[in-house]
Amino acid sequence: MIDPQDAVAAFQLETAPARGRIARLGAGTIDAILRRHEYPRPIALLLGEALALAALIGALAKFEGRITIQAEGDGPVRLLVAEYRTDGGLRGYARLAEDAAAALTVQHAVAPAALIGAGALVITLDQGPDTDQMQGVVPLEGDTLAACAEAYFERSEQTPTRIRLAVVEDVSPGAGAVWRAGGVLLQRLAGDDARGETEEGWRTGVILFDTLTDAELADPDLPPDRLLYRLFHEVGVRLADPAALSDFCPCDRDRLAAVLRGYTRDELAGFTEDDGLIHARCQFCARVYLLDPDDLTPPLR
């Protein structure tokens, strides 16, 4: 059974020309990812939003592969990456400047550009090794990650799009704290002979969408079907079956060993720690692999 707190689903407005996606991330996704790294709070909030955004955009995909959201700059966060696989797997991490943790003492969300610095939001669609990647780039000019993503759709796809993202650390008595996130993406449908002009209907959908609050988005006691009904009951809304989301990293000991076998023995010796082993840590899932250089057996050269 799919947990509605770790899932994404499509929806369609019945009498307004719009469709979208709604995502919830909880204990099985965002909480596990953020707890693994213990980032300063503003960075955890931004990465959580990026993970929710990756799920929303990824759920639009009509192919098997992965969608990566990435931003790189010279700010406290040098690199931010969130990745969605079309099987529902999510992973993400942030690479911080050396003094980032000491500099970021605020406990609230910060604009993306203030954390990342001058740079761009890059959204990459990867359908596999035998296909060309599709990539869209938009400046980090919005006050929120959602605003930056809206600009991406406007520039890259010329599709009017509204996005709302929310990340909270839910503290329940006796149950401890759990990171939760929610996101909704709404897109305008183009007019045709059947729909006619869609501008007025789209405006109605946007007015209703704008009543959405952060508290509603991440509330585990407000399931997606009830949330959408609360928002759009005036125009009608149909929710499709949800798809599960999971905390998943495809890093693999055998794959790592295969890469290391491409190095010479002298190069492997340079990677070796005092205990005689190579310590390799996955940036995404923080898993540490210990490999014996003698087991990697590259040819003597």
Domain that holds residue 280: 253-295
pTM: 0.89
Choosing from 229, 247, 265, the residue where a domain stops is: 247
Q: How buried is residue 158: exposed, middle or buried, by Cβ count under 10 Å (0-12/13-18/19+)?
A: exposed
Choosing from 214, 229, 247, the residue where a domain stops is: 247
> Domain check: are 201 and 257 in the same one?
no
Task: Return the structure tokens found at 20.
Answer: 């979208």
Residue 83 resides in a domain: yes
Residue 300 resides in a domain: no
The CATH number of residue 197's host domain is 3.55.30.10
> Domain check: are 277 and 191 in the same one?
no
Residue 277 resides in a domain: yes
Q: How buried is residue 151: exposed, middle or buried, by Cβ count under 10 Å (0-12/13-18/19+)?
A: middle
Q: What pLDDT, on the 0 to 100 scale, is given for residue 69?
A: 95
> Domain check: are 160 and 217 in the same one?
yes
Looking at residue 28, its amino acid is: G
Q: What pLDDT, on the 0 to 100 scale, is given for residue 46?
A: 95
Domain total in the chain: 2
pLDDT in tens, the chain (301 residues): 889 999 999 999 998 889 999 999 999 999 999 999 888 899 999 999 999 999 999 998 887 889 999 999 888 899 999 999 999 999 999 998 887 766 676 767 788 988 998 888 999 998 877 777 888 888 888 899 999 999 999 888 788 999 999 999 987 766 678 999 999 999 998 865 565 567 888 999 999 999 999 999 999 999 999 999 999 999 999 999 999 999 998 888 888 888 888 888 888 888 888 887 888 888 888 888 888 888 886 544 4
Q: What pLDDT, on the 0 to 100 scale, is given for residue 300?
A: 44
CB neighbours of 28 closer than 8 A, spacing ≥ 6? 3, 5, 6, 245, 246, 247
Residue 225 resides in a domain: yes
